Amino acid sequence: MLKRNPGRAVSVMGPLGPLTLEDLPSSGTTYWVSRRKAEVLAAIDGGMLSIEEACARYRLSLEELASWRRSIDRAGIPGLRITRLQDYREHVAN
């Protein structure tokens, strides 16, 4: 569980409204829909999570998080839909 930091944002604006740490996806999330990805990016942008905390909490690589950032910058939330990279990751894991 993440500790609260006095200088850290308690709430940020997410894709569907205000988000708190409790509103973020579970650390056990394995199926990433575009809304959950956008929530994590909003938490990082708003100062609620650092990039390192997000990577550790959700077991993401910096490259995967960077690909989410590029996708949302290029095409908005619809750009975060499942990609071939995720299909490939599932295939390799099996």
More confident residue, 44 or 7: 44
Task: Identify the domain containing residue 69 by its residue range.
Answer: 32-93
Name the more confident of 10 and 93. Answer: 10
For residue 19, the 8-state DSSP code is E
Q: Domain for residue 88, yes or no?
A: yes
| pLDDT value of residue 9 | 83
Give the chain's domain count.
1
pLDDT of residue 81: 87
Cβ contact 43:49 at 8 Å = yes
Confirm whether 39 is domain-assigned: yes
Closest Cα partner for 2 from 26, 18, 19, 29?
26
Do the beta carbons of residue 72 and residue 79 sit within 8 Å?
Answer: yes
CATH number of the domain that 55 lies in? 1.10.10.10
% of the chain at pLDDT higher than 70: 80
Distance CA 72, CA 90 (A): 22
Spatial CA neighbour of 15 closest among 25, 6, 7, 5: 25
Q: Give the model's confidence band at 34: pLDDT under 50 very low, under 70 low, under 90 confident, else very high.
A: very high
How much is the pTM?
0.78
